[in-house]
Structure 1
Amino acid sequence: MKWRNRRRSSNIDDRRGQRMKSGAKFSIGGIIMALIAIFVFKQDPMQVVSGMVGGQSSQSTSTEQTNYQPSAEEQDVYDFVSVVLADTEDTWTQIYRQSNAKYPHPTLVIYRDRTPTACGTGQAASGPFYCPADQKIYLDLSFLGELKRMGASGDFAVAYVLAHEVGHHIQTVTGISSKVRKAQSQTNNAGQNALQVKMELQADCLAGVWANQTQQRTQFLESGDLEEALSAAEAVGDDTLMKRAGVPPRRENFTHGSSKERMNWFKRGANTGLIGSCDTFNGVI
């Protein structure tokens, strides 16, 4: 991906030098269990974190500033994601303008270990996530190393992850998310998971729309970039994660979609560049 010497977003809240002051401590075993719950069983990261905190989250909102100095490698990644965020801003602003609407930019929060959010305590173990309550995307850069270990390498794999979270922002500001939550409140656990899968697959498709529209606007893609995004989509499919953990994949437990589904919906958005091609709900909501 061609990204150096390009515009960087100013909508970044850099909290890498902040530390939450709290008496809550987590064991290595507890963190591992949280990772399994989130990446294998796709539980809500905020619910997992709340369970780990054990009711102490209300006492864990204060922070202190430290003299944190990032490595040159980490700073390079920080600069990269700021360019990707800027690209999402420019592309979605252009798409919104076609409908005579103004695109509300989300904020990207870069943090280390733990940070307060409007959705509860954010934690590195939860991976990247979007909080609709404050319309912010939360990212601990250490997750990108985990992404590589999961078989998703390359800079565009990282761009795909960020664009997917921006897709959730689009769903929030357009009212799709609230419709999904309402529908989920009227069904059982299996139905709730099925709706969540549709929402995640739509975010994958919207990430593909962003890739298509940004390529038309800037010619930023390099050879192999889309393959990197597809590898990332494959690596985080529910069935792939469950198999890796030694758990038999069961469709009723899926919350993000299979590897094949995630790749297909990203490809659909990337091939068409049209938001209308991303109707994963097909009249359900």
Structure 2
Amino acid sequence: MKWQGGRRSGNVEDRRGMSGGQKLTLGGIGGVIVLIIGFLMGGDPSEILNQVQNQASPATQQGPVESTPEEDRLIEFSDVVLASTEDVWGRLFQENGKSYPIAKMAIYREGTETGGCGFGQKAFGPFYCPGDQTIYLDLSFNRELSNRFGAKGEFALAYVIAHEIGHHIQNVFGVLNKTNAMRAQMSEREYNKISVMTELQADFYAGVWAHYATQLSDVKLTADDIMEGMRAAAAVGDDHIQEQSTGRSNPESFTHGTSEQRAYWFKKGYESGDLNAGNTFNDPSLQ
């Protein structure tokens, strides 16, 4: 993956100098599941926030930013990848007679306030907040990808960012509003299926970005990068994470899709590059 020297978005806010604290009390298996869901990446963070109990009000203070060469590199990398998504989606929207609304990214440590999604925490993993159209990312998640989930290589983090941008695309298209409205009308088991469809479509959009990235942006991808993306998608499948954490998986509790499904939809987006091919909500296999 070639990205060094590429255009930087400039829409990345560095919040690492802001320290925030919030009490998070989660008991028993329920608490474990909430944290597991958080690490699955993506979706409406309110799905996690609504389950969190006994949270204290956060306190935030501004301080000097202490960085490391690794963090500096990850911030530059994330900035270039975000710029690449802007270039790709900007062109695709333009070709369809529309203007692409830019998403922002906030880099933080441990916890941070969001613009409409409550207090974001490291335990939630990377997430997109529709309220302020911002991706929230704690850089330590890059180590989680490699060490905990086994998703190695630079493209693994690029896939994560592209997946969250996929949720931004869904927000722009009005998909997130519709799926969130369904939540109050369904049982948890029924809504989990909608959540899976939503996440898999975000994986598909990540694949669409990868399809056009080399052609339309400064990020240049190889076949090996795409394989890394598929492995990263598989690494954060519900079944893989649940089995890794508890020794078994429960399909009825899946909210993001299996490893096979996530890799499949990312690959489908990459191979087709066709926005019309990503309607997961009408796919019979997901009903």
Calculate the TM-score normalised by the size of structure 2. Answer: 0.89
Q: Please tell me the root mean square deviation across aligned C-alpha atoms, in Å.
A: 2.6
Which of 69, 72, 90 is residue 72 of structure 1 equivalent to? 69
Q: Specify the alignment match of 1:193 in structure 2.
A: 192
After superposition, residues 160-171 of structure 1 pair within 5 angstroms as 160-171=159-170
Which of 109, 112, 136 is residue 112 of structure 1 equivalent to? 109
After superposition, residues 24-39 of structure 1 pair within 5 angstroms as 24=23, 33=32, 35-36=35-36, 38-39=38-39
Using a 3 Å threshold, how does the CA distance of structure 1 residues 252 and 199 change in structure 2: closer, same or farther?
Answer: same
The alignment status of 1:159 with 2:153, answered yes or no, reads no
- Aligned partners of 1:273, 1:51: CA distance in 2, in Å? 36
1:75-127, Cα deviation, whole Å (9 max, x unpaired): 00110000000000010000000111110001100001110112011111110
Q: Specify the alignment match of 1:209 in structure 2.
A: 208
Q: Specify the alignment match of 1:88 in structure 2.
A: 85
1:158-207, Cα deviation, whole Å (9 max, x unpaired): 10000000000000011011111223322211110000000000000000
Using a 3 Å threshold, how does the CA distance of structure 1 residues 178 and 43 change in structure 2: closer, same or farther?
Answer: closer
> Do the aligned partners of 2:45 and 2:128 also contact (CA within 8 Å) in 1?
no
Q: Specify the alignment match of 1:145 in structure 2.
A: 143
After superposition, residues 214-225 of structure 1 pair within 5 angstroms as 214-218=213-217, 220-225=220-225
Q: Specify the alignment match of 1:235 in structure 2.
A: 235
Sequence identity (%): 42
Q: Specify the alignment match of 1:250 in structure 2.
A: 250
SS state of the match for residue 64, structure 2?
A: coil
SS state of the match for residue 137, structure 1?
A: strand
Using a 3 Å threshold, how does the CA distance of structure 1 residues 138 and 104 change in structure 2: closer, same or farther?
Answer: same
SS state of the match for residue 239, structure 2?
A: helix
SS state of the match for residue 79, structure 1?
A: helix
Using a 3 Å threshold, how does the CA distance of structure 1 residues 193 and 53 change in structure 2: closer, same or farther?
Answer: closer
Unaligned runs of 5+ in 2: none
SS state of the match for residue 224, structure 1?
A: helix
Calculate the TM-score normalised by the size of structure 1. Answer: 0.89
The structure 1 segments of at least 4 consecutive aligned residues displaced by more than 6 Å after TM superposition are none
The number of residue pairs the alignment matches comes to 278
- Aligned partners of 2:272, 2:50: CA distance in 1, in Å? 40
